[in-house]
Amino acid sequence: MSNTILELRKEIKEPNEVKELKIKKYRFSNLVGKSPNFKAVLNIARKAANSSASVFIYGETGTGKELIAQSIHFDGTRQNKPFLAQNCAALPETLLESILFGTAKGGFTGAVDRAGLFEQANGGTLLLDEINSMPYELQGKLLRVLQEDYIRRVGGSKDIPIDVRIIATVNEPTEALIKQGKLRKDLYYRIKIIPIDVPPLRERREDILILAEQFIDKHNKRYNKNIWMLSDKAKEKLLSYNYPGNVRELENIIMAAISIIDDENVLTDKHILIDDANNTVKIDYEFLELGVEKYLENLEKEIIKNTLNTYQYNITKSAEHLKIKRQTLQHKIKKYNLHS
Ligand SMILES: Nc1ncnc2c1ncn2[C@@H]1O[C@H](COP(=O)(O)OP(=O)(O)OP(=O)(O)O)[C@@H](O)[C@H]1O
Ligand SMILES: [Mg+2]
Protein backbone atom coordinates (compact mmCIF):
# COMPACT_ATOMS: atom_id res chain seq x y z
CA MET A 1 0.00 0.00 0.00
CA SER A 2 2.86 2.39 0.75
CA ASN A 3 4.18 1.72 -2.77
CA THR A 4 0.85 2.56 -4.30
CA ILE A 5 0.49 5.72 -2.29
CA LEU A 6 4.00 6.88 -3.16
CA GLU A 7 3.42 6.06 -6.85
CA LEU A 8 0.19 8.05 -6.92
CA ARG A 9 1.82 10.97 -5.17
CA LYS A 10 4.62 10.96 -7.71
CA GLU A 11 2.10 11.22 -10.51
CA ILE A 12 0.61 14.27 -8.87
CA LYS A 13 4.03 15.77 -8.25
CA GLU A 14 5.33 15.18 -11.76
CA PRO A 15 2.33 15.64 -13.97
CA ASN A 16 2.83 15.07 -17.66
CA GLU A 17 -0.34 15.88 -19.51
CA VAL A 18 -2.28 16.50 -16.30
CA LYS A 19 -0.67 19.79 -15.33
CA GLU A 20 -4.00 21.38 -14.52
CA LEU A 21 -4.58 18.76 -11.84
CA LYS A 22 -1.75 20.27 -9.87
CA ILE A 23 -2.69 21.26 -6.36
CA LYS A 24 -3.34 24.95 -5.99
CA LYS A 25 -0.39 26.80 -4.54
CA TYR A 26 -1.13 29.44 -1.94
CA ARG A 27 1.00 32.47 -1.29
CA PHE A 28 0.87 35.34 1.17
CA SER A 29 -1.11 37.36 -1.36
CA ASN A 30 -3.94 34.81 -0.93
CA LEU A 31 -4.14 35.40 2.81
CA VAL A 32 -6.82 37.91 3.78
CA GLY A 33 -6.92 39.63 7.15
CA LYS A 34 -6.13 42.99 8.71
CA SER A 35 -6.78 42.43 12.41
CA PRO A 36 -3.74 43.10 14.59
CA ASN A 37 -3.47 39.49 15.76
CA PHE A 38 -3.67 38.10 12.23
CA LYS A 39 -1.14 40.66 11.03
CA ALA A 40 1.16 39.49 13.79
CA VAL A 41 0.83 35.94 12.44
CA LEU A 42 1.66 37.13 8.92
CA ASN A 43 4.66 38.96 10.27
CA ILE A 44 6.19 35.84 11.81
CA ALA A 45 5.23 33.72 8.81
CA ARG A 46 6.96 36.11 6.40
CA LYS A 47 10.09 35.93 8.51
CA ALA A 48 9.83 32.15 8.48
CA ALA A 49 9.72 32.22 4.69
CA ASN A 50 13.17 33.76 4.66
CA SER A 51 14.72 30.97 6.66
CA SER A 52 14.83 27.20 6.72
CA ALA A 53 14.06 26.78 10.41
CA SER A 54 11.24 24.42 11.27
CA VAL A 55 7.83 25.87 12.02
CA PHE A 56 5.18 24.70 14.46
CA ILE A 57 1.68 25.99 13.72
CA TYR A 58 -1.19 25.74 16.19
CA GLY A 59 -4.70 26.77 15.25
CA GLU A 60 -8.26 25.46 15.51
CA THR A 61 -9.72 23.71 12.51
CA GLY A 62 -10.27 25.98 9.51
CA THR A 63 -8.08 28.85 10.71
CA GLY A 64 -5.79 28.70 7.67
CA LYS A 65 -2.84 26.59 8.83
CA GLU A 66 -2.37 24.91 5.46
CA LEU A 67 -2.52 28.26 3.64
CA ILE A 68 0.11 29.68 5.94
CA ALA A 69 2.35 26.63 5.58
CA GLN A 70 2.12 26.81 1.79
CA SER A 71 2.77 30.55 1.76
CA ILE A 72 5.91 30.04 3.82
CA HIS A 73 7.14 27.58 1.21
CA PHE A 74 5.96 29.15 -2.05
CA ASP A 75 7.02 32.67 -1.06
CA GLY A 76 10.18 31.44 0.60
CA THR A 77 13.74 30.54 -0.23
CA ARG A 78 12.75 26.97 -1.11
CA GLN A 79 9.96 27.87 -3.55
CA ASN A 80 11.59 26.09 -6.47
CA LYS A 81 11.99 22.86 -4.54
CA PRO A 82 9.21 20.40 -3.72
CA PHE A 83 6.45 21.02 -1.20
CA LEU A 84 4.93 17.81 0.11
CA ALA A 85 2.29 17.32 2.77
CA GLN A 86 1.29 14.34 4.84
CA ASN A 87 -1.61 14.10 7.25
CA CYS A 88 -0.34 12.05 10.17
CA ALA A 89 -3.82 11.04 11.27
CA ALA A 90 -4.67 9.38 7.97
CA LEU A 91 -2.46 6.29 8.12
CA PRO A 92 -1.56 3.47 10.52
CA GLU A 93 1.91 3.51 12.05
CA THR A 94 3.91 1.13 9.86
CA LEU A 95 2.45 2.58 6.70
CA LEU A 96 3.17 6.13 7.80
CA GLU A 97 6.73 5.15 8.59
CA SER A 98 7.33 3.68 5.11
CA ILE A 99 5.69 6.67 3.47
CA LEU A 100 7.90 9.11 5.34
CA PHE A 101 11.21 7.28 5.26
CA GLY A 102 10.83 4.96 2.26
CA THR A 103 11.58 1.25 2.07
CA ALA A 104 14.58 -0.87 1.14
CA LYS A 105 14.44 -4.10 -0.84
CA GLY A 106 14.48 -7.11 1.43
CA GLY A 107 13.52 -5.06 4.46
CA PHE A 108 10.29 -7.02 4.74
CA THR A 109 8.32 -9.34 2.50
CA GLY A 110 7.55 -7.65 -0.79
CA ALA A 111 9.51 -4.52 0.06
CA VAL A 112 11.04 -2.64 -2.84
CA ASP A 113 13.58 0.14 -3.01
CA ARG A 114 11.60 3.31 -2.80
CA ALA A 115 12.24 6.82 -1.62
CA GLY A 116 9.94 8.17 1.07
CA LEU A 117 8.61 11.70 1.40
CA PHE A 118 11.76 12.92 3.15
CA GLU A 119 13.88 12.00 0.17
CA GLN A 120 11.31 13.26 -2.32
CA ALA A 121 11.06 16.58 -0.52
CA ASN A 122 14.81 16.99 -0.38
CA GLY A 123 15.78 20.63 -0.58
CA GLY A 124 12.16 21.60 -0.08
CA THR A 125 9.48 21.49 2.60
CA LEU A 126 7.54 18.69 4.23
CA LEU A 127 4.28 19.62 5.96
CA LEU A 128 3.35 17.19 8.72
CA ASP A 129 -0.32 17.86 9.43
CA GLU A 130 -1.82 16.87 12.80
CA ILE A 131 1.56 15.70 14.03
CA ASN A 132 0.00 14.82 17.40
CA SER A 133 -1.74 11.90 15.66
CA MET A 134 1.59 10.38 14.75
CA PRO A 135 2.19 7.34 16.99
CA TYR A 136 4.44 8.16 19.93
CA GLU A 137 7.23 5.82 18.92
CA LEU A 138 7.33 7.17 15.40
CA GLN A 139 7.54 10.68 16.86
CA GLY A 140 10.75 9.49 18.52
CA LYS A 141 12.15 8.27 15.20
CA LEU A 142 11.22 11.53 13.57
CA LEU A 143 13.03 13.45 16.29
CA ARG A 144 16.17 11.42 15.64
CA VAL A 145 15.99 12.14 11.94
CA LEU A 146 15.59 15.86 12.57
CA GLN A 147 18.54 15.90 14.92
CA GLU A 148 20.87 13.92 12.71
CA ASP A 149 19.82 15.18 9.27
CA TYR A 150 19.83 11.79 7.65
CA ILE A 151 17.27 9.06 7.20
CA ARG A 152 17.40 5.34 6.85
CA ARG A 153 14.77 3.62 4.72
CA VAL A 154 12.66 1.02 6.50
CA GLY A 155 14.67 -2.21 6.33
CA GLY A 156 17.67 -0.43 4.88
CA SER A 157 21.16 0.06 6.25
CA LYS A 158 22.36 3.10 4.35
CA ASP A 159 22.22 6.55 5.92
CA ILE A 160 20.87 9.03 3.40
CA PRO A 161 21.56 12.71 4.09
CA ILE A 162 18.52 14.95 3.81
CA ASP A 163 17.82 18.65 3.86
CA VAL A 164 14.11 19.09 4.45
CA ARG A 165 12.35 21.95 6.09
CA ILE A 166 9.63 20.74 8.46
CA ILE A 167 6.37 22.53 9.09
CA ALA A 168 4.15 20.75 11.61
CA THR A 169 0.58 21.57 12.60
CA VAL A 170 -1.76 20.73 15.47
CA ASN A 171 -5.37 21.81 15.94
CA GLU A 172 -5.54 21.37 19.70
CA PRO A 173 -3.64 23.39 22.30
CA THR A 174 -0.07 22.14 22.46
CA GLU A 175 0.23 22.06 26.24
CA ALA A 176 -2.78 19.78 26.56
CA LEU A 177 -1.43 17.49 23.84
CA ILE A 178 1.86 17.15 25.67
CA LYS A 179 0.10 16.56 29.00
CA GLN A 180 -2.10 13.86 27.46
CA GLY A 181 0.96 12.13 26.02
CA LYS A 182 -0.12 12.73 22.44
CA LEU A 183 2.81 14.91 21.50
CA ARG A 184 6.40 14.29 22.55
CA LYS A 185 7.78 17.26 24.39
CA ASP A 186 11.28 16.78 22.98
CA LEU A 187 9.93 16.64 19.42
CA TYR A 188 7.83 19.74 20.05
CA TYR A 189 10.86 21.69 21.30
CA ARG A 190 12.88 20.54 18.30
CA ILE A 191 10.25 21.74 15.82
CA LYS A 192 8.94 24.95 17.39
CA ILE A 193 11.95 27.00 16.40
CA ILE A 194 9.39 29.30 14.83
CA PRO A 195 6.05 28.91 16.65
CA ILE A 196 2.92 30.32 15.04
CA ASP A 197 -0.44 30.51 16.84
CA VAL A 198 -3.28 31.25 14.45
CA PRO A 199 -6.13 32.96 16.30
CA PRO A 200 -9.67 31.66 15.79
CA LEU A 201 -11.95 33.86 13.69
CA ARG A 202 -14.05 34.89 16.71
CA GLU A 203 -10.93 36.54 18.13
CA ARG A 204 -10.35 38.63 15.02
CA ARG A 205 -13.80 39.86 14.12
CA GLU A 206 -12.33 42.70 12.05
CA ASP A 207 -11.50 40.05 9.46
CA ILE A 208 -15.01 38.63 9.06
CA LEU A 209 -16.38 41.10 6.53
CA ILE A 210 -13.25 41.42 4.41
CA LEU A 211 -13.05 37.64 4.22
CA ALA A 212 -16.76 37.47 3.35
CA GLU A 213 -16.28 40.01 0.55
CA GLN A 214 -13.29 38.11 -0.74
CA PHE A 215 -15.31 34.86 -0.81
CA ILE A 216 -18.16 36.62 -2.64
CA ASP A 217 -15.69 37.70 -5.32
CA LYS A 218 -14.23 34.24 -5.48
CA HIS A 219 -17.53 32.37 -5.83
CA ASN A 220 -19.54 34.90 -7.86
CA LYS A 221 -17.97 33.72 -11.08
CA ARG A 222 -18.09 30.09 -10.17
CA TYR A 223 -21.84 30.18 -9.65
CA ASN A 224 -22.38 32.68 -12.43
CA LYS A 225 -23.92 35.23 -10.07
CA ASN A 226 -23.52 38.95 -9.84
CA ILE A 227 -23.51 39.98 -6.22
CA TRP A 228 -22.29 43.49 -5.52
CA MET A 229 -22.62 43.85 -1.81
CA LEU A 230 -23.78 42.64 1.58
CA SER A 231 -26.83 44.29 3.16
CA ASP A 232 -26.39 45.85 6.60
CA LYS A 233 -28.44 43.10 8.21
CA ALA A 234 -26.35 40.45 6.48
CA LYS A 235 -23.23 42.08 7.88
CA GLU A 236 -24.75 42.16 11.34
CA LYS A 237 -25.63 38.49 11.13
CA LEU A 238 -22.16 37.52 9.95
CA LEU A 239 -20.54 39.59 12.68
CA SER A 240 -22.60 38.13 15.52
CA TYR A 241 -21.81 34.48 14.81
CA ASN A 242 -18.95 32.75 16.60
CA TYR A 243 -17.68 30.37 13.86
CA PRO A 244 -16.64 27.13 15.53
CA GLY A 245 -15.39 26.05 12.06
CA ASN A 246 -13.52 29.34 11.60
CA VAL A 247 -12.65 30.71 8.13
CA ARG A 248 -13.61 27.48 6.37
CA GLU A 249 -17.09 27.73 7.92
CA LEU A 250 -17.43 31.37 6.89
CA GLU A 251 -16.52 30.42 3.34
CA ASN A 252 -19.12 27.64 3.36
CA ILE A 253 -21.78 30.04 4.65
CA ILE A 254 -21.00 32.48 1.83
CA MET A 255 -20.94 29.70 -0.77
CA ALA A 256 -24.33 28.47 0.40
CA ALA A 257 -25.72 32.03 0.29
CA ILE A 258 -24.45 32.56 -3.26
CA SER A 259 -25.84 29.27 -4.44
CA ILE A 260 -29.38 30.08 -3.24
CA ILE A 261 -29.47 33.70 -4.38
CA ASP A 262 -31.50 34.38 -7.54
CA ASP A 263 -30.62 37.23 -9.85
CA GLU A 264 -30.38 39.71 -7.00
CA ASN A 265 -27.31 41.87 -6.53
CA VAL A 266 -27.44 42.25 -2.77
CA LEU A 267 -26.72 39.41 -0.41
CA THR A 268 -29.11 39.82 2.53
CA ASP A 269 -29.53 38.18 5.92
CA LYS A 270 -32.15 35.82 4.54
CA HIS A 271 -29.52 34.21 2.31
CA ILE A 272 -27.26 33.57 5.26
CA LEU A 273 -28.13 30.24 6.75
CA ILE A 274 -26.40 30.14 10.07
CA ASP A 275 -27.09 27.24 12.35
CA ASP A 276 -27.99 29.21 15.45
CA ALA A 277 -28.27 26.09 17.56
CA ASN A 278 -24.51 25.87 17.22
CA ASN A 279 -24.03 29.37 18.41
CA THR A 280 -23.57 30.53 21.95
CA VAL A 281 -26.57 32.13 23.65
CA LYS A 282 -26.91 35.59 22.29
CA ILE A 283 -27.04 37.87 25.29
CA ASP A 284 -28.65 41.23 24.87
CA TYR A 285 -26.33 43.32 26.98
CA GLU A 286 -28.62 46.29 27.00
CA PHE A 287 -31.26 44.22 28.74
CA LEU A 288 -28.68 42.72 31.05
CA GLU A 289 -28.39 46.16 32.61
CA LEU A 290 -31.57 45.30 34.50
CA GLY A 291 -29.51 42.72 36.36
CA VAL A 292 -29.22 39.05 35.59
CA GLU A 293 -32.28 38.06 37.64
CA LYS A 294 -34.66 40.41 35.91
CA TYR A 295 -33.04 39.53 32.58
CA LEU A 296 -33.65 35.80 33.09
CA GLU A 297 -37.22 36.46 34.20
CA ASN A 298 -37.89 38.44 31.06
CA LEU A 299 -36.36 35.67 28.99
CA GLU A 300 -38.45 33.02 30.75
CA LYS A 301 -41.60 35.10 30.29
CA GLU A 302 -40.85 35.45 26.58
CA ILE A 303 -40.27 31.72 26.11
CA ILE A 304 -43.44 30.78 27.97
CA LYS A 305 -45.52 33.33 26.08
CA ASN A 306 -44.30 31.96 22.75
CA THR A 307 -44.96 28.38 23.77
CA LEU A 308 -48.47 29.19 24.96
CA ASN A 309 -49.19 30.88 21.67
CA THR A 310 -47.83 27.94 19.72
CA TYR A 311 -50.03 25.47 21.62
CA GLN A 312 -53.04 27.82 21.75
CA TYR A 313 -52.89 27.95 25.51
CA ASN A 314 -53.19 24.18 25.89
CA ILE A 315 -51.53 23.87 29.31
CA THR A 316 -50.71 20.15 29.12
CA LYS A 317 -48.97 20.44 25.74
CA SER A 318 -47.17 23.65 26.65
CA ALA A 319 -45.88 22.19 29.91
CA GLU A 320 -44.71 19.09 28.07
CA HIS A 321 -42.85 21.19 25.53
CA LEU A 322 -41.22 23.27 28.24
CA LYS A 323 -40.40 20.14 30.25
CA ILE A 324 -41.97 21.53 33.43
CA LYS A 325 -44.94 20.43 35.55
CA ARG A 326 -48.41 21.72 34.67
CA GLN A 327 -48.63 23.24 38.13
CA THR A 328 -45.36 25.07 37.67
CA LEU A 329 -46.55 26.43 34.35
CA GLN A 330 -49.79 27.63 35.86
CA HIS A 331 -47.86 29.30 38.62
CA LYS A 332 -45.66 31.10 36.10
CA ILE A 333 -48.64 32.17 34.01
CA LYS A 334 -50.01 33.84 37.10
CA LYS A 335 -46.66 35.36 38.04
CA TYR A 336 -46.10 36.86 34.59
CA ASN A 337 -49.74 37.63 33.99
CA LEU A 338 -49.87 35.60 30.79
CA HIS A 339 -53.52 34.56 30.87
CA SER A 340 -55.10 34.23 27.44
N1 LIG B 1 -6.58 34.22 5.90
C2 LIG B 1 -7.32 33.60 4.96
N3 LIG B 1 -7.60 34.24 3.81
C4 LIG B 1 -8.34 33.64 2.87
N5 LIG B 1 -8.87 32.42 2.99
C6 LIG B 1 -8.62 31.73 4.10
C7 LIG B 1 -7.83 32.28 5.14
N8 LIG B 1 -7.74 31.37 6.13
C9 LIG B 1 -8.45 30.31 5.73
N10 LIG B 1 -9.00 30.51 4.51
C11 LIG B 1 -9.91 29.60 3.80
O12 LIG B 1 -10.29 28.59 4.72
C13 LIG B 1 -10.03 27.30 4.20
C14 LIG B 1 -9.45 26.46 5.29
O15 LIG B 1 -8.09 26.81 5.51
P16 LIG B 1 -6.98 25.71 5.83
O17 LIG B 1 -7.24 24.46 5.07
O18 LIG B 1 -5.66 26.35 5.69
O19 LIG B 1 -7.33 25.45 7.37
P20 LIG B 1 -6.59 24.51 8.42
O21 LIG B 1 -6.23 25.37 9.57
O22 LIG B 1 -5.49 23.76 7.74
O23 LIG B 1 -7.77 23.55 8.86
P24 LIG B 1 -7.72 22.02 9.39
O25 LIG B 1 -7.17 22.06 10.79
O26 LIG B 1 -9.16 21.60 9.40
O27 LIG B 1 -6.87 21.25 8.44
C28 LIG B 1 -9.11 27.51 3.02
O29 LIG B 1 -9.42 26.65 1.98
C30 LIG B 1 -9.34 28.94 2.59
O31 LIG B 1 -10.31 28.98 1.58
MG1 LIG C 1 -5.22 21.70 7.38
Domain ranges of the chain: 2-199, 202-278, 285-336
CA 45 to CA 55: how far, in whole Å?
9
- At 15 the pLDDT is 53
In order of 1, 158, 247, 287, 320, the CA distances from 108 in angstroms are 13, 16, 44, 70, 65
Q: Tell me the C-alpha distance between 91 and 73, whole Å.
A: 24
Q: How far is the CA of 238 from the centre of ligand 1 (A)?
A: 18
Structure confidence at residue 22 (pLDDT): 52
Q: Are 129 and 87 in contact (CB under 8 A)?
A: yes
Do residues 86 and 126 touch, judged by C-beta distance below 8 A? yes
Whose Cα sits closest to atom 7 in ligand 1?
A: 64
* pLDDT tens by residue, the chain, 340 residues: 888 888 887 776 655 544 444 567 999 999 999 999 999 999 999 999 999 999 999 999 999 999 999 999 999 999 999 999 999 998 888 899 999 999 998 767 777 899 999 999 999 999 999 999 999 999 999 999 999 999 999 999 999 999 999 999 999 999 999 999 999 999 999 999 999 999 999 999 999 999 999 999 999 988 888 999 999 999 999 999 999 999 999 999 999 999 888 888 999 999 998 866 555 555 566 666 777 788 888 889 988 998 898 888 999 999 998 999 999 999 999 999 998 7
Task: Tell me the best of 207, 211, 247 to mutate to test the pocket of ligand 1, counting ligand atoms within 8 Å of each CB and taking the most.
Answer: 247
Beta strands per DSSP E along the chain: 55-58, 83-87, 125-129, 150-151, 160-161, 165-170, 194-197, 229-230, 266-267
> Is 199 close to ligand 1, i.e. is its CB under 6 Å away?
no
Q: What distance in angstroms lies between residue 67's CA and the mean position of ligand 2's atoms?
A: 8
Q: Judging by beta carbons within 10 Å of its beta carbon (0-12, 13-18, 19+), is residue 242 exposed, middle or buried?
A: middle
Neighbours of 159 (CB within 10 A): 12
Closest ligand relative to 30 C-alpha: 1
**In this structure, what are the phi and psi dihedrals at residue 84, rounded to the nearest 5 degrees?**
-125, 150
285-336: what fold?
Arc Repressor Mutant, subunit A (1.10.10)
Same topology for domains 2-199 and 202-278, yes or no? no
Q: How many CA atoms lie within 13 A of 122 on its CB side?
A: 12
CATH H superfamily, domain 2-199: P-loop containing nucleotide triphosphate hydrolases (3.40.50.300)
Contacts of residue 10, defined as CB under 8 A and 6 or more positions apart, other chains included, come to 120
103 forms beta bridges with 114, 154
> What separation in Å is there between the alpha carbon of 85 and the centre of ligand 2?
10
Position 20 scores a pLDDT of 41
Return the CATH number of the domain spanning residue range 202-278: 1.10.8.60
Stated pTM of the model: 0.79
Distance 30 CA to ligand 1 centre (A): 10
